[in-house]
Amino acid sequence: QVQLVESGGGLVQPGESLRLSCVASGNIFNGYAMAWYRQDPGKQRELIATITADGLTYYAVSVEGRFTISRDNTGNTGVLQMNSLKPEDTSVYYCNRVLHPLTWGQGTQVTVSS
pLDDT for the residue numbered 28 = 87
Strand-by-strand arrangement of the 4-7 sheet? 4-7, 18-24, 77-82, 67-71
pLDDT for the residue numbered 56 = 96
pLDDT for the residue numbered 71 = 94
Residue 86 CA to residue 83 CA, distance in Å, equals: 9
pLDDT < 70: residue spans in the chain: none
Amino acid of residue 29: F
Strand-by-strand arrangement of the 108-112 sheet? 10-12, 108-112, 91-97, 34-39, 46-51, 57-59
3-class secondary-structure state, position 19: strand
pLDDT for the residue numbered 27 = 87
pLDDT for the residue numbered 52 = 95
